[in-house]
Chain A
Amino acid sequence: QVQLVQSGAEVKKPGASVKVSCKASGYSFIGHYMDWVRQAPGQGLEWMGRINPNSGGTNYAQKFQGRVTVTRDTSISTAYMEVTRLRSDDTAVYYCAMYSSTSKTLDYWGQGTLVTVSS
């Protein structure tokens, strides 16, 4: 069965960086884009960006361009999302999600990683 297992919660200071991992299993990792979505406390879902694990190609929401980088390691079926220059409003749960090109949906989601930015 498809599983996306994310790394554990992080606490960071403003200005620091954080890198969240998402290990995929149960499907062809290079066969599906991996998207990243975040959710601030008590707020809605916000799409951040994606990676094509096969080519390494990425695209990002305009809001995150220049501050967010998504990468992958195909040898271990893992995607990574790094946010630099963290601010307090980056405090959120970050999700990875497998994109299905057939249905154009995010079919499987990781369990989420809470990133807290606090001085």
Chain B
Amino acid sequence: SYELTQPPSVSVSPGQTASITCSGDKLGDRYACWYQQKPGQSPVLVIYQDTKRPSGIPERFSGSNSGNTATLTISGTQAMDEADYYCQAWDSSTGVFGGGTKLTVL
């Protein structure tokens, strides 16, 4: 079965750039998307089709996907961005999530 791998945690200072990676076999041949989840809340889509931002998502969120790695980049990270982030892709019609990355802003 298809698998996506994320680092368990990433730390960033306020105002700096955070990068969260997601690795999978030939992931660049599929669309990747990213969800943000804050404690006690349902996930929220922040990036879809590798690079697109849904309406209402700040411009500081961006994405890329090439080769075996998709990357979520948060520029000028703010305290409110502290959350768990999950990458996700489709393997035929089956959804696959990465294990999640806890972003700490300190």
Are A and B part of the same complex? yes
| Given A44-B86, A45-B86; A107-B45 close (CB under 8 Å) | yes
Determine if B63 is an interface residue (Cβ-Cβ < 8 Å).
no
Select A59's contact among B42, B94, B97, beta carbons within 8 Å: B94
Interface size class of A (residues with CB under 8 A): 20 to 34
Chain A residue numbers with a CB within 8 Å of B44 are 109
A53 contacts partner chain B, Cβ-Cβ < 8 Å: no
Given known pairs A95-B42, A103-B49, A109-B43, the reply for A44 and B90 (CB within 8 Å) is: no
Verify B95–A105 contact, CB threshold 8 A: no
The verdict on B33 contacting chain A, using a C-beta distance below 8 Å, is: yes
Min CB–CB distance B31 → chain A (angstroms): 6
Cβ–Cβ < 8 Å partners of A111 in chain B: 42
Interface string of A102-119 (1 = CB under 8 A from B): 011111011110000000
Tell whether A9 is near chain B: CB-to-CB under 8 Å.
no
| Complex interface residues of chain A between 30 and 78 (CB less than 8 A to chain B) | 35, 37, 44-47, 50, 59, 61-62
Contact check, A37 vs B1: say whether CB atoms are below 8 A apart.
Answer: no
Q: How far is the CB of A6 from chain B (nearest CB, A)?
A: 10
CB-CB under 8 A from B31, the residues of chain A are: 104
Determine if B33 and A46 form an interchain contact, defined as CB atoms under 8 angstroms apart: no
Instruction: Judge whether A105 and B86 touch: CB under 8 Å.
Output: no
Given A109-B42, A112-B42, A104–B97 Cβ distance below 8 Å? no
- Convert B91-104 into 0s and 1s, putting 1 for each residue whose CB lies closer than 8 angstroms to a CB of A: 00111111110000
Assembly CA distance A105 to B43 (angstroms): 12
Q: Which residues of A contact B61 (CB under 8 A)?
A: none
Alpha-carbon separation in the docked complex, A107 to B48 (Å): 10
Residues of B within 8 A of A45 (CB): 35, 37, 43, 86, 88, 97, 100
Residue of B nearest to A44 (CB): B100
Tell me whether B97 and A103 are in contact (CB under 8 A): no
Chain B residue nearest in CB terms to A46: B97
Contact surface of A with B, Cβ cutoff 8 Å: 35, 37, 44-47, 50, 59, 61-62, 95, 103-107, 109-112
